[in-house]
Amino acid sequence: LQQRRGLRLSAPAAIQVTVRDALNQALDEELERDERVFLLGEEVAQYDGAYKISRGLWKKYGDKRVIDTPISEMGFAGIAVGAAMAGLRPVCEFMTFNFSMQAIDQVINSAAKTCYMSAGSIAVPIVFRGPNGASAGVAAQHSQCFAAWYGHCPGLKVVSPWSAEDAKGLLKSSIRDDNPVVMLENELLYGVPFELSEQAQSKEFVIPIGKAKVERQGTHVTLVSHSRPVGHCIEAATVLAKEGVECEVINLRTIRPMDIETVEASVVKTNHLVTVEGGWPQFGVGAEICARIMEGPAFNYLDAPAVRVTGADVPMPYAKILEDNCIPQVKDIVFAVKKALNI
């Protein structure tokens, strides 16, 4: 009616969407778009998912597209890998990536290596997804970050979203990719609302795998992070800005393949580097970034050694005060930046 009257309709504005709802949207849109896509895992169907990521999908798509499995990661991951080899596009949910250790043979020896070992004749288009890293009060066996583990393995792509836009765009790209993708989400982010742009509300919105995003422009130091610590870096940058220090914050988004070019360009501009991650320090994501910068052209632009902020080198304690001291906090990032800048 408004159009008939010659009035201009305003474009849909950005909206607030939780990471949980963004993932749910992505699954819904891809299940609708491609009949080869199906979801399987523990409690993903009738219970709507342990974290309600698959809420409403079983009622909409039925038993053949959204499948409850027994508590046997080795079994259902193997079924999913076989289905992918046969031409389907499974999304395999682990209730936590700590439990993916039960299926590590399927993920690495079957999914990651088959395309190479078959000289490219067998694609394995599968997504392994679920919460990764520390949650709250779940202790050592449920708190590990597997970004470095899976990022170590050729044949896998590994994505690690922070915002709702990251989650939606990366999950859709992962489902459409012909390679096995490990998608490392964060349980503590599921209920956090983020702004979802007009573009990201489209059913065809995807984020390219292997491309980082500069979340905040700065001139004095580069902060590189992924997943939940990206938010901590932005908070630390806000604190430091009050002291005259402008931090450039890079959200990696993808662990493998790593967008080292974006990091290099930032280091060339700021001359300082701090990496932040929730995982352990030894052989970690930050260690890889530091090595790549040292081996590349940006090394000549560094005015001080790179600094890493990581989780503590211990199995996660249960007590909250100890847990807080094992996970990078905003104050730890601020301290690291001042160390890098020698202030």
Please compute the mean of the pLDDT values over residues 183-211 and round it to a whole number.
96
| 40 plus 129 within the same structural domain | yes
The residue out of 169, 201, 233 marking a domain boundary is: 201
Q: Examine residue 5 and state whether it is found in any structural domain, yes or no.
A: no
Same domain, 137 and 23: yes
| Residue 9 placed within a domain | no
Q: What is the pLDDT of residues 46-81, one digit of tens each?
A: 999 999 999 999 999 999 999 999 999 999 999 999
pLDDT in the model for residue 13? 84
Residue 103 lies in a domain: yes
Distances (CA, A) of 67 to 41, 91, 102, 134, 326: 7, 10, 19, 27, 37
Catalytic, out of 29, 42, 93, 142: 142
Residues 331 and 189 in one domain: no
246: part of which helix (H) or strand (E)? none
> Residue 38 falls within a domain, yes or no?
yes
* Residues contacting residue 168 through CB under 8 Å, at least 6 positions apart: 22, 23, 25, 26, 196, 200, 205
CATH of the domain at 107: 3.40.50.970
pLDDT digits (tens, 9 = 90+) for 7-61: 444 556 889 999 999 999 999 999 999 999 999 999 999 999 999 999 999 999 9
The per-residue pLDDT for 47 is: 96
| Shared-domain flag, residues 132 and 88 | yes
Q: What domain range is 125 assigned to?
A: 17-201
C-beta separation of 7 from 25 below 8 A: no
pLDDT at residue 11, rounded to an integer: 53
**Could you tell me the CATH number of the domain that includes residue 230?**
3.40.50.920
Which strand (E) or helix (H) includes residue 92?
strand 89-93
pLDDT tens for each residue of 116-162:
999 999 999 999 999 999 999 999 999 999 999 999 999 999 999 99
The domain boundary, picked from 201, 224, 248, lies at 201
Q: Is 42 a catalytic residue?
A: no
Backbone angles phi, psi at 319, to 5 degrees: -60, 135
Statement to judge: residues 300 and 188 lie in one domain: no
Determine which one of 29, 73, 187, 248 is catalytic: 73
Regarding whether 176 and 107 lie in a shared domain, the answer is yes
194 in the same domain as 218: no
Other Cβ atoms less than 10 A from the Cβ of 146: the count is 23
Specify the pLDDT at position 4.
44
Q: Domain for residue 54, yes or no?
A: yes
In-domain check, residue 195? yes
Clarify whether residues 94 and 239 are in a common domain. Answer: no
As a whole number of angstroms, the distance between CA 294 and CA 34 comes to 43
Same domain, 92 and 237: no
Flag whether 2 is in a domain.
no
Question: Between the CA of residue 275 and those of 177, 233, 308, 317, 332, what are the distances in Å?
Answer: 28, 10, 5, 23, 11
If asked whether residues 104 and 162 sit together in one domain, one would say: yes
The secondary structure element, H or E, covering residue 111 is none
Check if 152 is active-site: no
Q: Is the pLDDT of residue 111 over 50?
A: yes
Report whether 115 contacts 155 (CB < 8 A).
Answer: yes
SS3 at position 58: helix
Q: Which of 162, 181, 201 is the last residue of a domain?
A: 201
Instruction: Based on the fold, state whether residues 167 and 230 are members of the same structural domain.
Output: no
User: Exposure pattern of 203-231 as b/e (b: 16+ CB <10 Å)?
Assistant: eebbbebeebbebbebebbbbbbbbbbbb
Determine, yes or no, domain membership for 258: yes
Q: What three-state secondary structure class fits 173?
A: helix
Structural domains of the chain, count: 2
Mean pLDDT of the chain: 95
Residues 258 and 181 in one domain: no
What backbone torsions phi and psi does residue 11 show, to the nearest 5 degrees?
-70, 150
| Residue 278 in this model has a pLDDT that exceeds 50 | yes
